[in-house]
Chains A and B, each alone.
Chain A
Amino acid sequence: DTAVSQTPKYLVTQMGNDKSIKCEQNLGHDTMYWYKQDSKKFLKIMFSYNNKELIINETVPNRFSPKSPDKAHLNLHINSLELGDSAVYFCASSQDPGFMNTIYFGEGSWLTVV
């Protein structure tokens, strides 16, 4: 079974649309993350949740809204998509927010906004 799974893997959508990416982890971890990888392959953290509570919220447009219905799920909803939102979005999880934990990544979701 995949430890961290995210769907969809590929998403092509038009500007202005609203879309969601879902993430689930079956590792029993308390902490989940969303990262964005831009065209230059640079990873940046967007959000981090611990036990369904937001603990890191980077400078991300408020069109991006994470939602954690339970600690095994962290979904990313994006409103009014823009061309610059095209990127690969990675979900990840760790046992807790502590820096000594291994981070487990999902396979990534390739978002293309046209």
Chain B
Amino acid sequence: KNEVEQSPQNLTAQEGEFITINCSYSVGISALHWLQQHPGGGIVSLFMLSSGKKKHGRLIATINIQEKHSSLHITASHPRDSAVYICAAPFTNTGNQFYFGTGTSLTVIP
């Protein structure tokens, strides 16, 4: 069982749709990271958050530390949002070693 679970694993959406990707984790953390991996393979850090909500353009990330859950939302999705989205969390009981979710592969169709 993976310590960090993501859902859905694959997601296809029409351009303009509102998208939600979920991440849940099994042990205590102090912060969570959302990463984006482009089709070419490069990984970009989107958000790092420890509470509440953060917004960057059309991307919104929320976290509830007590419920051990985070969501990444994309408003007005666009084909260029097609990528793999990965959540990663440093577990406090392992000296902040990062554990990664299995990723959500998003395809946005024009």
For B43, the closest partner residue in chain A by CB is A105
B10 to chain A, nearest CB (A): 11
Taken together as a complex, chains A and B put the C-alpha atoms of A45 and B91 apart, in Å, by: 13
Given known A43-B88, A99-B30, contact A105–B100 (CB-CB < 8 A): no
Report A-chain residues with C-beta under 8 Å of the C-beta of B50: 100
A102 touches B102 (CB 8 A): no
Residues of A in contact with B, size category: 20 to 34
B107 to chain A, nearest CB (A): 14
Task: Confirm or deny: B14 has a beta carbon within 8 angstroms of a beta carbon on chain A.
Answer: no
For B30, the closest partner residue in chain A by CB is A99
What 0/1 pattern do residues 13 to 35 of B give for CB contact below 8 A with A? 00000000000000001110101
A33 to chain B, nearest CB (A): 8
Interface of A (DSSP majority class): loop
Taken together as a complex, chains A and B put the C-alpha atoms of A41 and B38 apart, in Å, by: 12
For B32, the closest partner residue in chain A by CB is A99
Report B-chain residues with C-beta under 8 Å of the C-beta of A107: 40-42
Give me the interface of A with B, judged by CB distance under 8 Å: 40-45, 48, 56, 58, 88, 90, 92, 97-105, 107-108, 110
Can you name 14 extra interface pairs (CB under 8 A) apart from A103-B98, A107-B42, A108-B42? A41-B37, A41-B84, A43-B86, A43-B88, A44-B100, A58-B97, A88-B41, A92-B43, A97-B96, A98-B96, A99-B29, A99-B30, A103-B35, A108-B43
